[in-house]
Amino acid sequence: MKKIFFTAAIALASLFSMNAQEYKVITSVESIVPNGLGRSRIINALEDKDYREYTSVQTEEDNTRNKSDRSDIRVKNFEETKLLNFYNLGGIRFQNIAANDAMITSMINDMIANGWELAFVVSGVESEGGKGDGQGIFITRYIFRK
């Protein structure tokens, strides 16, 4: 009877520990601004935020807003790793793309070495797209879990 109880307790404890996961998002921003005028970086927040502190409930009866100031949302402690821009004066620089790939690979390998697993990768492009398009970024979010 003690063995059955002990085995059940171990199984139950392992079930809870398997469900406890932590996630971390690291973002790369790569400039697609012509002539190399943009800035490209890997950004890693070094502090946590609780989204509930900045969430309000909107209902018909009560239009209660969260009293937090938007400036409170800002993260003041973060790592910023320089990357190269996709363009320079001569146009697109494939060497810069390869260098950025090496930097991002290094970051991913470091995260994995520290016990994180790369779970998801999401990317998108933001560009003005109008005549004389002079603005744009390529953003990728690397979502890790532990």
29-49 per-position pLDDT tens digit: 998 877 767 889 999 999 999
Which residue type occupies 146? K
Helices (H), 51-136: 94-113
Whole-angstrom Cα distance, residue 18 to residue 13?
A: 9
User: What tens digit of pLDDT does each residue of 44-53 get?
Assistant: 999 999 999 8
The β-bridge relationship of strands 23-31 and 136-145 is: antiparallel
Q: What's the distance, CA 40 to chain centroid?
A: 15
Residue from 8, 24, 30, 120 nearest 78 by CA: 24
- Strand order across the 23-31 sheet: 78-83, 40-45, 23-31, 136-145, 117-127
Confidence of residue 87 (pLDDT cuts 50, 70, 90): confident
Q: Considering the chain, what is the average pLDDT of its residues?
A: 84
